[in-house]
């Protein structure tokens, strides 16, 4: 199977983040221990279809939530995700979405913050039909 990332993914991501930081529609938060960043969480304000047809017209996308394995189970992911939600509220955003990792699902991390599961399904159309 071919890689899913486009050849120019780095350039596209850099341009998106640069514009998002400039427009104050993207933010990242980190947690340091002993001078090193051990956990991160990011957030961006999105206004793509179909959200842009609804009254809020935009939503928050939580992303880049990561805690180094040796620093897990200390509340860092919860603390930083809470920061992203506060940032969104401060921008007047009233709806947030994310894709949860299996570890976060097992821990109930996002449910404890008020998130609920949605019934999104995916199909890789490049894969052979089964």
Examine residue 19 and state whether it is found in any structural domain, yes or no.
no
Examine residue 94 and state whether it is found in any structural domain, yes or no.
yes
Domain coverage including residue 92: 25-112
Residue with the bigger pLDDT between 120 and 36: it is 36
Instruction: State mean pLDDT over 23-47.
Output: 97
Is pLDDT at 1 greater than 50 in this prediction?
no
The pTM assigned to this predicted structure is 0.86
| Phi, psi for residue 57 in degrees, rounded to 5 | 65, -5
Question: What would the pLDDT profile of 49-93 be if each residue is shown by its tens digit?
Answer: 988 888 889 999 999 999 999 999 999 999 999 999 999 999 999
CA atoms of 125 and 8, how far apart (whole Å): 21
Above pLDDT 70, what percent of the chain?
96
CA proximity to 58, closest of 12, 100, 94, 22: 94
CA atoms of 8 and 94, how far apart (whole Å): 33
Domain count along the chain: 1
């Amino acid at each position: 199977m071919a890689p899913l990332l486009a050849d120019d993914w780095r350039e596209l991501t850099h341009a998106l983040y640069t514009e998002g930081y400039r427009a104050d529609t993207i933010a990242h938060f980190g947690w340091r221990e002993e001078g090193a960043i051990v956990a991160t969480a990011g957030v961006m304000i999105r206004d793509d279809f179909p959200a842009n047809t609804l009254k809020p017209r935009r939503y928050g996308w939580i992303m880049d939530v990561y805690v180094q394995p040796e620093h897990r189970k200390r509340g860092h992911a919860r603390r930083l995700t809470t920061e992203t939600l506060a940032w969104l509220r401060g921008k007047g955003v009233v709806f947030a979405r994310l894709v949860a990792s299996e570890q976060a699902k097992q821990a109930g991390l996002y449910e404890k913050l008020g998130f609920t599961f949605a019934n999104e399904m995916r199909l890789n159309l490049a894969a052979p039909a089964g």
